[in-house]
Amino acid sequence: MTLNKTNMYPILISSIVALGGLLFGYDTGVINGTQFYFSKYFELSASMKGCVVGSALLGCFSGAIIAGPLSRYFGRKYSLIIAALLFTLSAWGSGLPSFLPESVSLLVVFRLIGGLGIGIASMNAPTYIAEISPAAKRGKMVTLYQMAIVIGFFVVFLATYFIGSGNSESYNVNEGWRWMFWSELIPCLLFFLLLFIVPKSPRWLMLKGRVSEAKKVLYKIHHSETIANEIEEIEESIKEDHGIPLKTIFKKSVLPIILIGSIISGLQQFTGINAVLYYGADIFEKALGFGQEDVLAQQILLAGVNMAFTFLAMFTVDIWGRKPLVVAGSLGMLAGFLMLGISLMTNQVGIISLIGILTFVGSFAMSMGPVVWVILSEMFPNSIRSIAMSVAVAVQWAANYFVSQSFPMVVESKVNNNEFWNGSLPYFLFIAFIIVIIWFTKRYIPETKGRSLEKIEKIWEDKYGVFSK
């Protein structure tokens, strides 16, 4: 495809909105680089460490819940601006400036604020991108969001590595972790400022009856007189008032699509990806035998693999389709955790274990990472998209919180550390969920590549009677 003004504009605004994903990745990744040091500074127990790490996830859950009403009434654009402000406040406060009282409770408060921003952005950013993207390129453009997430992880690992590697451990314990948090202020402010040049979502404008504004945005995005057909399809999909959104989602005609979206969203977290990303330093140090001085370098390797395979997904999701990528990636994740799990069980930890983790991360990055966001952003009908997406994303953050809290407990349990499991139990539990993902995807997820959002709505209507009388 030749790049010109016609197709560069949607790429530009999608890239700006995708910065919400970069902050998602940066904010959740910074906890990995900092938790080793602030845990020593505050002398945290294992349970308290889990509380600090998990506090942002509670904020994410709450943010996802309120994101639906925010998005419906104020629009995707202004919801993202609110998220950018929350990101900025969290990044500044998490470093606990000298004039603030130093306490774990205050750190938790600022992590919760950041979580609110992530929850709001994680619903609105992919939704916005899907709503302004041409059908043939929507998978690639929504994948920009996941690409931004992994770039955020990669950049924050670089930032924490360079902030931490040039200083003594005692400096990092007392001051270094603060600068790791504060480094997020740069992308926060950039995201906030750039959002003001982003137009409102044309489908949200149509929902609000602002048809002339929607036509102007669509024409600017697609620069084509054929937008008349698109306008007609959007009007057809929202012409009936399906009731108060929160009541609508419990109707028998709508509930199946909400459940399917929520289940695939939650299963993304039960792959174990965030157990690896949040507690990667502990895994490399304890399970794989790396010294603490090597941990940050290993994290950069992990983030680099994550980014490379997300690029692969970006350039294949509109060619191969959603379902083949999910199934192929799930098989790769299964193989990766089998290598890691068996090497732990047999006490043969080494290069095979590292290859196993990298295989898992790469396979996730080409499948469940980006493709779930594509599926969620395009599967819900126009009239309930903001509320339904909010529910599905909230389920994902609830699952994320559960995994992040339970993973260290399972790792340290007597059962996991007996002679049989030898530290491998959590990875075999994740393998069981990956098998469920393969079955669920093949059974319940339709292939949607190349279809308009309104035509996808028709698939669900034919399959499950969504909104049928």
Return the top range by mean pLDDT from 29-38, 238-247, 393-402, 426-435. 426-435
- Residue 217 belongs to some domain of the structure: no
For the chain, how many residues are written?
469
Q: What is the DSSP code (8-state) at residue 417?
A: T
Can you give the three-state secondary structure of 82-146, one letter per residue? HHHHHHHHHHHHHCCCCCCCCCHHHHHHHHHHHHHHHHHHHHHHHHHHHHHCCHHHHHHHHHHHH
Q: Residue 232: inside a domain, yes or no?
A: no
Q: What percent of the chain has pLDDT over 90?
A: 48
- Angle at which helix 185-194 crosses helix 5-41, to 10 degrees, equals 150
- 415-420, Cβ contacts within 8 angstroms, sequence gap of 24 or more: 420/345
**Residue recorded with tokens 């035998």:** 289
168 is in which domain, residue-wise?
A: 5-198+240-464
Give the separation between CA 228 and CA 219, rounded to whole angstroms.
10
Q: Taking every pair of C-alpha atoms in the chain, what is the biggest distance, in angstroms?
A: 69
Q: What is the pLDDT of residue 359?
A: 95
Evaluate whether residue 141 is within a structural domain. yes
- Using one digit for the tens of pLDDT, what is the confidence trace for 83-125? 999 999 999 999 998 888 888 999 999 999 999 999 999 999 9
Number of domains within the chain: 1
7 pLDDT higher than 50:
yes
At 282-338, the pLDDT tens digits run 677 666 666 555 666 676 788 789 889 999 999 999 999 999 999 999 999 999 999
Model pTM score: 0.84
pLDDT at 467 over 60: no
Does the pLDDT of residue 231 top 90, yes or no? Answer: no
The whole-angstrom separation of Cα 248 and Cα 253 is 9
CATH of the domain at 437: 1.20.1250.20
Query: Is residue 210 one of the residues assigned to a domain?
Result: no
Judge whether 211 lies within some domain.
Answer: no
Question: Model confidence at 353, in pLDDT bands (50, 70, 90)?
Answer: confident
Element (H, E) at 35: helix 5-41
Confirm whether 454 is domain-assigned.
yes
Give residue 135's Cα distance to chain centre.
22
pLDDT in tens, 423-432: 999 999 999 9
Is residue 223 situated within a structural domain?
no
133 falls within a domain: yes
* Cβ atoms of residues 20 and 86 within 8 Å: no
- At residue 3 the predicted structure's pLDDT band, cuts being 50, 70 and 90, is very low
